[in-house]
Structure 1
Amino acid sequence: MSKVVAIMSMSLDGYVADSHGSVAEVFDWYTSGDVELHMGGSDPMTFTVSEPSAEHLRGLTSGLGAMLTGRRTFDDAQGWGGNHAWGPAFVVTHQVPAGWPRPGSTVHFVTDGIESAVRQARAAAAGKAVGVHGAETIQQCLNAGLLDELQVDLAAVLLGSGVRLFDNLADVPALLGNPTVIAGVGVTHLRYPVRAVDV
């Protein structure tokens, strides 16, 4: 079965966006090096990262088969032009936005909850991992016991306020396994397995 993996950039003090909703500071590491990485999708991007970060991103993206995200991330990314660079995207939302779904798009909308979204994304991933974006979506997956791994790109910045990644957790403490740590330029890449709780 496909692993469900949270993927987020976060400030050292736990924020994924500042008080104005901007993510610029936590994503500065995407331009902190001289190794070019080209991402596909309808709206292709090129990152210039350090070699350790490039190796981290290559390993991450090659293992992804689908993405799961929330409506705010979808809106902020303007729907990725209809095709996310890392595979078909499943957007958890209460209402499908106007003008969607679009012909030729690999963006799907799930209005019947996080469990259904994870099930659909796993089926689309065809054995590869499902990446999860967005603080609220990650929290929902953690609270439902659906998350297998946390990958946090810890940016070298303190934001002081904003959108926190781990604000609304139902079952704490949440136990994590030993981390894998990769030091980049302006970022530390942390990867934790989420340990199942014995009942």
Structure 2
Amino acid sequence: MGKVFTHMTMSLDGFVAEPDDKIGELFEWYEAGEVTVPNQNETVSFQVDDASAQALREWTGNCGALVAGRRLFDIAHGWGDKHPAGAPVVVVTHRAPEDAAAKWPTTTFVDGVEAAITRARQIAGDQDVTIASTTITQQALDLGLVDEVCVSLVPVLFGEGIPYFTKLDRGHLLLDDPSVIQGRRAIHLRYPVRG
């Protein structure tokens, strides 16, 4: 069975978006190099440095399913039913969009984080499950469902915005030492969650 991990690109002061959901300079690292990393969505391109290409391949190469919240799904317009990770998406929502099966045939809509992780694991089989949503990450961490926390830390300070992490209901969560990949315009960190 694969791992369940979270991944978000984050400003140095802890934000994954501006207050209005705009990403500002967060994704500059996706265009900061000469290495093309192929993906499943033709409207998205990754031109990164060698080190960031290694990180991207680690995160997407074994991704069997991706879990997102409804807010992110709506902002991204469902990625046109082709998430760049190349995996089916499981969306946590209390109400699926109208005509969901016709518009997003590879997307599953589930009510609840635990149910979403369970469904994503079923879809992924032996591959990894990636959580790419702040609220879902928080809830999954509180439920003890995350094996690894991943951050692409970029050199920008937002001062305000949507935080990657907020208060955990379960209190402090201890992580092991990170693996570190120094990329151009981002440092990629992987923190195993202590059991």
TM range, smaller chain: over 0.9
2:160 match: 161
Within the alignment, does 1:95 sit opposite 2:75 as a pair?
no
1:28 match: 28
1:70 match: 69
Q: How many pairs align?
A: 194
TM-score normalized by the length of structure 2:
0.95
Secondary structure class of the residue paired with 1:2 = coil
Secondary structure class of the residue paired with 1:191 = strand
Distance in structure 2 (CA, Å) of the matches to 1:169 and 1:77: 27
Q: 8 Å contact 1:5–1:151 — kept in the other structure?
A: yes
Distance in structure 1 (CA, Å) of the matches to 2:104 and 2:168: 37
Distance in structure 2 (CA, Å) of the matches to 1:79 and 1:103: 9
RMSD: 1.3
2:128 match: 129
Q: Aligned partner of 2:8: which letter?
A: M
In the alignment, structure 1 segments of 5+ residues that lack a partner are none
Post-superposition CA distance 1:60-82 (Å, at most 9, x none) = 21121110010011011101112
Alignment of 1:106-145 (within 5 A): 106-111=106-111, 113-145=112-144
Moved more, 93-102 or 65-74: 93-102
Aligned-pair identity in percent equals 41
In the alignment, structure 2 segments of 5+ residues that lack a partner are none
Alignment of 1:38-77 (within 5 A): 38-41=38-41, 43-77=42-76
1:170 match: 169
Cα displacement (A) at 1:39: 1.0
